[in-house]
């Protein structure tokens, strides 16, 4: 039972992190576009780098979600 709770807690945390990452990426894209519009090209590049990092992090997270789901099913 303790194992099931731990797996469920990790699963919920991963899903929340995935959602937060997607929201951060969307927000940063808006900021990046605004900086481009205003002519702050160095800031735009820095934000672009951060967006790419978050997208990579999101891909990695999505890769592990099925593994967590499988462990959750096995625990049940």
* Domain ranges (residues) in the chain: 2-75
What is the pTM assigned to this prediction?
A: 0.52
pLDDT of residue 11: 67
- Please state at what angle helix 41-75 crosses helix 2-38, rounded to 10 degrees: 160
pLDDT of residue 26: 85
DSSP annotation of 39 reads T
pLDDT of residue 24: 83
Residues of the chain with confidence (pLDDT) below 70: 1-3, 6-7, 11, 68-76
pLDDT of residue 9: 72
pLDDT of residue 21: 80
């Amino acid at each position: 039972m303790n194992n099931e709770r731990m797996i469920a807690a990790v699963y919920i945390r991963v899903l929340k992190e995935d959602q937060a990452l997607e929201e951060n990426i969307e927000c940063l894209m808006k900021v990046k576009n605004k900086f481009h519009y205003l002519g702050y090209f160095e800031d735009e590049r820095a934000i672009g780098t951060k967006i790419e990092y978050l997208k990579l992090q999101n891909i990695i997270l999505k890769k592990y979600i099925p593994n967590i789901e499988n462990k959750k099913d096995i625990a049940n």
